[in-house]
């Protein structure tokens, strides 16, 4: 069987967990959390990093920090994970969805300006598959209308945006804030886990408070106040040191992990080149301004029927691909409260995108087998549909 995902262990995770336990501190913000923060701040130049219990929670922190109030509008793609939206809905926001690009599942940057109103407070670009949105465009719009940008960088670790001046900017370093995920399906994992990145220092102090249950406990530990107490709303967003220790073992091997994932991605890319010429499936498009962090490999099928056909063929051979997001604007929760909308490309990706197995230990011969199965099945499907 070839599963869709298999968490990869670098080998040091349990050693570091033991170290954390032996240090006498396994609640949040111990030695390993600090090491992770330092790693990210140093490697990517993020102004301030705060590990969180999930990427969902990093987004919730961002919503609280932006002081989102009932009726505020937040713009994001419909083709995204539910948490991108729910984090803001929990604060009372109205979500305004924009369509995906025709060439990529990411949001269509050119459609953002049309849906801005006086109530718009923030834009949440999602770097789908770790591929950058066109941030120069989004930055210009945000500046023009005085909006905040929260990057949903859940899938975007170790990926870059090349701006109009030719500068390579790490994803997560561009918006006012950014949220990362270390869920087991990501490049770097801790089971469940996430991180809030703050690039605008005006949010630093309150972020610490909100993450510490609305108390000034971080100040207390730094000796800046003599008691800590309730000063704001907040939640418990600190992950255990057990999680941070696990994550740090992964971060130490990020180059090794990325090297391997790039090999996997390139193998898929090459092996599916020929079948793409049939125009029945297409491989991922990566704009010139974006790098590829090899987070996932997907194909876009010509139709939903073809996708279903491929899924059944692959599953019959014990290969487990997965489709992805259902457009959020068509969800039960959203559609019953909002005006019906047509977002053609978002729906197209919902119906037709297929994610292929992708994990560190995936064998090259297995990738070839998957791609050969896809090629064969596409031809088979063409024959069946021609005959009908």
> Is residue 229 within the footprint of its own copies (CB under 8 A)?
yes
Closest approach of its own copies to the CB of residue 22, in Å: 9
Pairwise CA distance, residues 341 & 344, whole Å: 9
| Secondary structure of residue 376 in the 3-state scheme | helix
* R_g of the chain, CA atoms, integer Å: 22
User: What DSSP assignment string belongs to 197-249?
Assistant: EE-SGGGHHHHHHHHBTTB-HHHHHTTSSSS--B-S---B-PPPHHHHHHHHH
Asked if residue 190 lies in contact with residue 239, where contact means CB atoms within 8 angstroms, the answer is: yes
> Is residue 192 within the footprint of its own copies (CB under 8 A)?
yes
**Helices and strands in the chain: count of H runs, count of E runs:** 14, 12
Among 151, 158, 208, 241, binds its own copies (CB under 8 A): 241
Specify the pairing of strand 168-170 against strand 177-181: unpaired
Closest approach of its own copies to the CB of residue 25, in Å: 7
- Our CB check for its own copies shows the closer of 55 and 378 to be 55
Closest approach of its own copies to the CB of residue 112, in Å: 22
- Our CB check for its own copies shows the closer of 21 and 344 to be 21
Among 21, 317, 344, 383, binds its own copies (CB under 8 A): 21
Stretch that binds its own copies, among 21-29, 99-107, 115-123, 288-296 (CB under 8 A): 21-29
Per-residue x/- mask for its own copies, residues 268 to 307, rule CB under 8 A?
A: ----------------------------------------
Among 77, 105, 106, 239, binds its own copies (CB under 8 A): 239
Closest approach of its own copies to the CB of residue 185, in Å: 8
* Residues with Cβ within 8 Å of residue 223, at least 6 apart in sequence: none
- Our CB check for its own copies shows the closer of 93 and 300 to be 93
> Is residue 322 within the footprint of its own copies (CB under 8 A)?
no
Closest approach of its own copies to the CB of residue 70, in Å: 8
Reading the block at residue 356, the tokens are 């292929």
> Is residue 328 within the footprint of its own copies (CB under 8 A)?
yes
* Residues with Cβ within 8 Å of residue 90, at least 6 apart in sequence: 60, 63
User: What DSSP assignment string belongs to 58-93?
Assistant: HHHHHHHHTT--TT-EEEEESSS-HHHHHHHHTTTP
Closest approach of its own copies to the CB of residue 270, in Å: 27
Distance of CA 236 to the CA centre of its chain: 22
> Is residue 334 within the footprint of its own copies (CB under 8 A)?
yes
Pairwise CA distance, residues 149 & 146, whole Å: 10
Asked if residue 8 lies in contact with residue 189, where contact means CB atoms within 8 angstroms, the answer is: yes
- Our CB check for its own copies shows the closer of 123 and 328 to be 328
Stretch that binds its own copies, among 38-46, 53-61, 105-113, 276-284 (CB under 8 A): 53-61
Closest approach of its own copies to the CB of residue 356, in Å: 17
> Is residue 214 within the footprint of its own copies (CB under 8 A)?
yes
- Our CB check for its own copies shows the closer of 22 and 255 to be 22
Of 245-274, which residues contact its own copies (CB under 8 A)? 246
Reading the block at residue 349, the tokens are 């990706």
How big is the CA angle at 97 (ends 95 and 100), to the nearest 5 degrees?
155
Residue ranges that bind its own copies, judged by CB under 8 A: 3, 6-7, 9, 13-14, 17-18, 21, 24-28, 53-57, 60, 81-83, 85-87, 89-90, 183-185, 189-193, 213-215, 227, 229-236, 238-243, 246, 326, 328, 331-334
């Amino acid at each position: 069987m070839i599963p869709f995902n298999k968490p990869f262990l670098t080998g040091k995770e349990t050693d570091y967990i033991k170290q954390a336990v032996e240090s006498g501190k396994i609640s949040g913000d111990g030695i390993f959390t600090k090491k992770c923060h330092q790693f990210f701040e140093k490697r990517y130049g993020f102004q301030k990093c705060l590990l969180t219990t999930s990427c969902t929670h990093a987004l919730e922190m961002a919503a609280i920090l932006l002081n989102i109030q009932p009726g505020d509008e937040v713009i994001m793609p419909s083709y995204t994970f539910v948490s991108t939206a729910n984090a803001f809905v929990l604060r009372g926001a109205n979500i305004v969805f924009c369509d995906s690009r025709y060439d990529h599942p990411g949001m269509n940057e050119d459609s953002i300006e049309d849906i801005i109103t006086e109530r718009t407070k923030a834009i949440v670009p999602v770097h789908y598959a770790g591929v950058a949105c066109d941030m120069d465009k989004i930055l210009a719009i945000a500046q023009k209308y005085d909006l905040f940008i929260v990057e949903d960088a859940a899938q975007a670790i170790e990926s870059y945006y090349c701006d109009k001046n030719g500068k390579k900017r790490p994803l997560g370093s561009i918006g006012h804030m950014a949220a990362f995920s270390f869920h087991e399906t990501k490049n770097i994992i801790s089971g469940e886990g996430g991180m809030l990145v703050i690039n605008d220092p005006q949010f630093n102090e309150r972020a610490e408070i909100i993450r510490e249950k609305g108390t000034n406990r971080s100040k207390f530990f730094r000796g800046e106040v003599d008691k800590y107490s309730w000063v704001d709303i907040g939640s418990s967003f600190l992950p255990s040191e057990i999680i941070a220790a696990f994550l740090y073992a992964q971060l130490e091997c990020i180059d090794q992990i990325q090297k391997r994932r790039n090999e996997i991605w390139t193998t898929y890319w090459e092996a599916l080149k020929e079948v793409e010429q049939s125009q029945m499936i297409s491989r991922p498009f990566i704009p010139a301004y974006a790098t590829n962090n090899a987070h996932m490999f997907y194909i876009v099928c010509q139709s939903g029927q073809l996708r279903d056909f491929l899924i059944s063929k692959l599953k019959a051979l014990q290969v487990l691909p997965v489709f992805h997001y259902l457009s959020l604007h068509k969800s039960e929760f959203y559609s019953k409260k909002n005006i019906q909308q047509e977002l053609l490309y978002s729906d197209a990706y919902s119906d037709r995108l297929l994610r292929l197995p992708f994990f560190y230990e995936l064998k090259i011969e297995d990738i070839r087998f998957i791609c050969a199965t896809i090629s064969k099945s596409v031809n088979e499907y063409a024959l069946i549909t021609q005959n009908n």
